[in-house]
Chains A and B, each alone.
Chain A
Amino acid sequence: MTPLAAILVRDMRIAIRVGGGALIGVLFFVVVVTLIPFAVGPDLPLLKRIGPAILWLAALLASLLALDRLFSSDHEDGSLDLILMSRAPLELVVLAKGVAHWLTTGLPLIVAAPLVGLLLNLDAPAELTLVVTLLVGTPALTFIGLIGAAIAVTLQRGGLLLAVIVLPLTVPVLIFGVAAANAAVVGPAPFGTPFTILCALTLASLVVGPFAAAAALRQEME
């Protein structure tokens, strides 16, 4: 097994086992979505109208949850030092950790999203566009989040700072993700344009995220 595959498998194992955050993320996602109808009232047309936005916001918040432990737990038990000393390029290691994070927190959300969408009165086309936009957009959230996780790695209360750093950077993803997801709900709104921009954002974050996060880790651990 190559070092990168080993790190991917290790991170996924840690996330799934006791003490990992994988299933808590989905639970958080479902709880947040369930809270919204209590706040705005059980008005089904309104919930249908704002449903994609609610699901996107909940996914954004849920993907933040496990991020603050992504590097800091490795830092505490010393494995981050081993990773930094290993011959595998740090950027690719960070990429592998990001993929593992997305597979354990992003992907379960996407599986749960259609079920939760039913509660928000979304019909089949709306569910489909929502799932497609989440599938394309949530990796961007993870890889932008990596930067914040790496910057906050050695901090005592990094979680709060992480949210403050990461959330402004995720604004474009949220805008175009919700715009594309709304296409099936709000009638003749275009789907293609926001969706292609969302794809571009994900691809750009795939490049920028690991490089910036790796640079931050090198600087922090000097």
Chain B
Amino acid sequence: MAIADLANPSRFLTLANRSIPWLGGLTVIVFAYGIDQAMLAPDDYQQGATVKIMFLHVPSAWLGMLGWGLMTVAAFGTLVWRHPLADVAAKAAAPIGAAFTLLCLVTGSLWGRPEWGTYWVWDARLTSELVLFLLYLAVIALWRTVEDPSRAARAAAILTLVGAIDLPIIKFSVDWWNTLHQGASVFRLGGSTIYPTILMPLLVMAVAFTLLFFTLHLAAMRNEILRRRVRTLRLMQANAVS
């Protein structure tokens, strides 16, 4: 099935209704395996058990960035290809991405308290992640301010494209500046610096988080399409009465 076939919302709804239970079930299974592996993973020789915060912190950071990345692709879909579902995808991704970014910030500061001795430092990685969170809130505010969905979609798309500048800043902030936050450890030239017994559960958790993201995203897109149908029906009803 090509992406153009999904332009029909009814066809998309059928597909979503069929795949959401399967995707949700798979998410639960991978989460069960991932949490089990994370619990069995050995403690860090310096940090002790607090290293386990990483299994929440790192995947939610990735997913927070994936959310904006997905919105960026959807923004092109809205502005360039005029795909009818692109703005639905963008609108549905914003709150989910914001939630993962908030989770990343909260778990990060809880981890920072025992390891760095402070909940928050204004270093480049933390600041750029906070800016990403504020940008998410700005996009959500924009969606909620403009009444006409298609007009809101185009305004949000432009803000999304401009805000995408923050993504490489977050990724490379630990390389460009001396930060308290550690440097890139998983995806780097010369292989990961994390020991395999901790890296494997981390990757499983990342897969689980990604599955969770797409399950929630599909469900949110379905809700958004239904919400728009309700809106259209109400408008038609109001027209019929008047």
Which A residues have a C-beta under 8 Å from some C-beta of B?
Answer: 147, 150-151, 154-155, 157, 161, 164-165, 167-169, 171-172, 175, 208, 212, 215-216, 219-220, 222
Which B residues are in CB contact (< 8 Å) with A175?
A: 127
Q: Do A219 and B158 have beta carbons less than 8 Å apart?
A: yes
Q: Do A165 and B138 have beta carbons less than 8 Å apart?
A: yes
Q: Do A155 and B146 have beta carbons less than 8 Å apart?
A: yes
B58-82 vs A, Cβ < 8 Å mask (1 yes, 0 no): 0000000000000000000001000
The interface residues of chain A, by DSSP majority, are classed as helix
B141 to chain A, nearest CB (A): 5
With beta carbons under 8 angstroms apart, the residue of B79, B138, B146, B155 that contacts A164 is: B138
For window 152-194 of B, CB contacts with A under 8 Å fall at: 154-155, 157-159, 161-163, 169
B77 to chain A, nearest CB (A): 14
Q: A161-B142, A168-B131, A171-B131 are in contact. Are A215 and B137 (CB under 8 A)?
A: no
The reply on B242 being an interface residue by CB < 8 A is no
Q: A161-B141, A171-B127, A212-B158 are in contact. Are A220 and B151 (CB under 8 A)?
A: yes
Chain A, Cβ-Cβ closest to B148: A154
Q: Do A147 and B138 have beta carbons less than 8 Å apart?
A: no
Cα separation A171 to B79 with both chains bound (whole Å):
27
Q: Do A168 and B158 have beta carbons less than 8 Å apart?
A: no
Cα separation A141 to B208 with both chains bound (whole Å):
41
Cα separation A172 to B127 with both chains bound (whole Å):
10
Which A residues are in CB contact (< 8 Å) with B134?
A: 167-168
- What are 28 contact pairs spanning A and B, CB under 8 A? A147-B158, A150-B158, A151-B158, A151-B159, A155-B145, A155-B146, A157-B145, A161-B142, A164-B141, A165-B138, A168-B131, A168-B135, A168-B163, A169-B135, A169-B162, A171-B131, A172-B169, A212-B161, A212-B162, A215-B79, A216-B154, A216-B155, A219-B79, A219-B154, A219-B155, A219-B158, A220-B154, A220-B155
Which B residues are in CB contact (< 8 Å) with A155?
A: 145-146
B242 to chain A, nearest CB (A): 23
Which B residues are in CB contact (< 8 Å) with A151?
A: 142, 155, 158-159
Which A residues are in CB contact (< 8 Å) with B145?
A: 155, 157, 161
A208 to chain B, nearest CB (A): 7
Q: Do B142 and A216 have beta carbons less than 8 Å apart?
A: no
Which B residues have a C-beta under 8 Å from some C-beta of A?
Answer: 79, 127, 131, 134-135, 137-138, 141-142, 145-146, 151, 154-155, 157-159, 161-163, 169
Most buried by B among A154, A169, A216: A169
Which B residues are in CB contact (< 8 Å) with A147?
A: 158-159, 162
Q: A155-B146, A165-B138, A220-B151 are in contact. Are A215 and B131 (CB under 8 A)?
A: no
A1 to chain B, nearest CB (A): 31
Chain B, Cβ-Cβ closest to A161: B145
Which B residues are in CB contact (< 8 Å) with A172?
A: 169
Cα separation A15 to B159 with both chains bound (whole Å):
27
Q: Do B154 and A169 have beta carbons less than 8 Å apart?
A: no
Cα separation A219 to B153 with both chains bound (whole Å):
10
Which B residues are in CB contact (< 8 Å) with A219?
A: 79, 151, 154-155, 157-158
Cα separation A28 to B10 with both chains bound (whole Å):
54
Which B residues are in CB contact (< 8 Å) with A220?
A: 151, 154-155
Q: Do B158 and A216 have beta carbons less than 8 Å apart?
A: yes
Cα separation A54 to B22 with both chains bound (whole Å):
55
9 more contacts with CB within 8 A, not counting A150-B158, A171-B127, A212-B161, are A147-B158, A147-B162, A164-B137, A165-B141, A168-B135, A168-B138, A169-B163, A171-B131, A220-B154
Which A residues are in CB contact (< 8 Å) with B138?
A: 164-165, 168
B125 to chain A, nearest CB (A): 13
Q: A171-B131, A215-B79 are in contact. Are A165 and B142 (CB under 8 A)?
A: yes
Which A residues are in CB contact (< 8 Å) with B169?
A: 172
Cα separation A165 to B137 with both chains bound (whole Å):
9
B161 to chain A, nearest CB (A): 7
Cα separation A147 to B135 with both chains bound (whole Å):
14
A216 to chain B, nearest CB (A): 5
